[in-house]
Structure 1
């Protein structure tokens, strides 16, 4: 029983540490803040291609989080990167990878595409 309690405390501590560490390199922006800056940034939709084709923010490029490691060459380190996915979890994972690879100015859309009310494009 003691082992389970210790393991649970360790898992919670790791989660809290990761949460605060992520806040150091990833800005979570409201839709209004996101709109103000995404035209000057690299706007990346990290969802899968079929999700992207059903609808995406106008001007976004589709680089799924599953392909990001192989497609890093497509991203510039000297320009801000604005990420979004359906709800926010995949863009957070993408931001973590980008941070590890030396990218610094990374933002994500709070609530993801499902909260977006601006212009979208569908195929």
Structure 2
């Protein structure tokens, strides 16, 4: 069965510094995304997911971000089924990221 993996915040921080190819998708609501998100992430919802699936490389690792790391697990599992080779759910979500890396939040 195709599934996703959990990713912790320190690892994502390292990856953002070192890995050039990484797709960061944020599934929070538009207002929350506008108020702050991880730099380089794109908001994904029911309207934009089709375009993302068409455009994104199946080989590029995908990291799914939500509020606390719960709903991102369902989205990550769904993306894995769509054929993405490496899919991660960010444990702790954006809330935890913002607490640990307030300097790495784009508004």
Question: TM-score, normalised on structure 2?
Answer: 0.80
1:25/1:104 contact within 8 Å kept = no
Structure 2, unmatched stretches of 5+, are none
Q: Distance in 1 between matches of 2:75 and 2:3?
A: 12
* Alignment-derived partner of residue 12 in structure 1: none
* Alignment-derived partner of residue 51 in structure 1: 32
Structure 1, unmatched stretches of 5+, are 1-20
Alignment of 1:12-91 (within 5 A): 25-38=3-16, 39-40=19-20, 41-64=22-45, 66-67=46-47, 69-71=49-51, 72-91=53-72
Question: TM-score, normalised on structure 1?
Answer: 0.70
- Cα RMSD (Å) of the superposition? 1.9
**Structure (1 or 2) with the larger CA radius of gyration:** 1
1:68/1:94 contact within 8 Å kept = no
1:91/1:108 contact within 8 Å kept = yes
Q: Which has the higher helix share?
A: 1
1:81/1:105 contact within 8 Å kept = yes
